[in-house]
A and B are shown apart, each in its own frame.
Chain A
């Protein structure tokens, strides 16, 4: 049996096509493999947020969205965003920015600012009274919801996290959460280092909760204790923020992978990335 020249040509071109497509598939697989291996390393090294490659239920390879901060679901984030409300009236002069400071994030007062006692005021006469009604404070109307999608108000101005940390009034800013807010944006004029959490308040709170859980399990944690206060330094194993401030700027804002927390009982005094 002889093979016609036309048939031979077509089978040869078919084999060539198959060979090319095989080469193409191999090239794609190789690129995907290289990307999968190098993306996390690049993210960690440079603080990028390259999407991960994941396989869905049908076995299709897809690019995953940028990973949100741990333990913060999208619904939690949207709740958190809803909660960031501008107070209707406030005379609080806490936390004014220094002339040098360049804020990279939102600079307005936080949702608790309307509840905070006024501090750093030049006049001794109080100019605001505590807010007590729904009309005066929008947060009161939303009681029952979770602040920043994670914190439950257990009594007035006292918020409990899922891991059991309590955020209470106090600090120069009037509330520990408002102090924590300082660590959700850079303060380039601040001398030394200034740790900044990824993911705004919701991300910061979730990271601190994870750190606290690790600390309780003594995972990659060092702790010093004095007069009932514990200072935890927890290695989170990956990026949780970056180092800002003057020192951070000089070092091109290296990533932060540790959390330092100062805690008394279960009450948070401060927490920041380092």
Chain B
């Protein structure tokens, strides 16, 4: 599945999209989430959908990191990177993260779902 909204092509592998993911959207309690991430709000990640390079900010000029190949985890909350606690961010998620400024609309896979 391709990201719904991306900020750029992946500078690491060249073939992937650096998509925006939102994590912390599962049924964990706010207290539990706060204990792990020091925030009660979901958090954002930039993830290449090919090589799984991860950025913690919506800026691919910052340093990236990799996660475990077989058990990929969110580097912030350690939940499964592809599990129920996270998803490719939609327009509402990106607003919540306040990352609208980083989105490259040319890379949207669903152009009819525009950002507010």
Tell me the A residues contacting B by CB distance below 8 Å. 94-96, 98-101, 117-124, 168-174, 187, 189-193, 195, 226-227, 229, 231, 260, 262, 264, 267, 269-270, 272, 274
Shortest Cβ distance from A195 into B: residue: B15
B residues whose Cβ falls under 8 Å from a Cβ of A: 1-2, 6, 9, 12-17, 26-27, 49-52, 65-66, 69-72, 80, 82-85, 87-88, 106-112
**Docked-complex contact A227 and B66, CB < 8 angstroms:** yes
B108 CB to nearest A CB, Å: 7
**Given A170-B69, A227-B66: A193 and B83 interface contact (C-beta under 8 Å):** no
**Given A98-B110, A170-B69, A270 and B13 touching (CB < 8 A)?**
yes
Contact residue among B1, B106, B109, B112 (Cβ-Cβ distance under 8 Å from A172) = B1
Q: Is the CB of B15 within 8 A of A260?
A: yes
A118 to B87, CA, bound (A): 12
A-B contact pairs, 26 of them (CB 8 A): A95-B1, A100-B109, A101-B109, A117-B82, A119-B80, A120-B82, A120-B88, A124-B85, A168-B69, A170-B69, A170-B70, A171-B52, A172-B1, A172-B49, A174-B82, A191-B108, A192-B9, A229-B51, A229-B66, A231-B51, A260-B14, A260-B15, A262-B13, A264-B69, A269-B51, A270-B16
List of B residues within 8 angstroms of A170 by Cβ: 69-72
Minimal beta-carbon separation of B39 from chain A (angstroms): 19
